Amino acid sequence: MRTKLLFGIAATGLLAASASAQDFYATNNLSAANFGTPGDELIIYNFQTAVWNAVGVMNVGGSAVVGGIGGLDWAGGVGNGPLIGAVSFGGISVGEIYAINPADASATFLGNAPADMADLAYNPVNGKMYGT
């Protein structure tokens, strides 16, 4: 039931919990270069219309998360639990993992994986999050 979408060069998408399955939460990794923001934006992308809206810059206490968020998945399955994001490149330390509030893009540092994660996937059968 989890669908991924890669659009542009550096955006990773995630199926949102809509009945029509058209809205995706994604990261705009190009925001600093293209829009003058301090870091990655959390966006909602509508697959059907190709329109996206920024939720906000992913931040911890108002300071932008350093590095590019490459992996996103819901901690409790599609649309449930917090949205978990993994820094894939350019972070402060290796394997940074954050819980991201989908309403305002605020983030809470959860810990570090042994390596940077390019993608995340939640397995509802065993309740575990996996990274690559």
Backbone angles phi, psi at 4, to 5 degrees: -115, 155
Considering only CA atoms, which of 87, 94, 91 is closest in space to residue 118?
87
Strand ranges, E, within the chain: 4-7, 11-15, 23-28, 41-46, 51-57, 59-60, 63-64, 68-74, 83-89, 96-100, 107-112, 120-123, 128-131
pLDDT tens track, the chain, 132 positions: 333 333 332 334 444 344 455 778 888 887 666 667 777 899 998 888 888 899 999 999 989 888 889 889 988 766 777 899 999 988 899 999 999 999 999 999 999 999 999 999 989 899 898 999
> pTM to 2 decimals?
0.77
Q: How many CB atoms lie under 10 A from the CB of residue 89?
A: 12
Tokens encoding 3: 């669908």
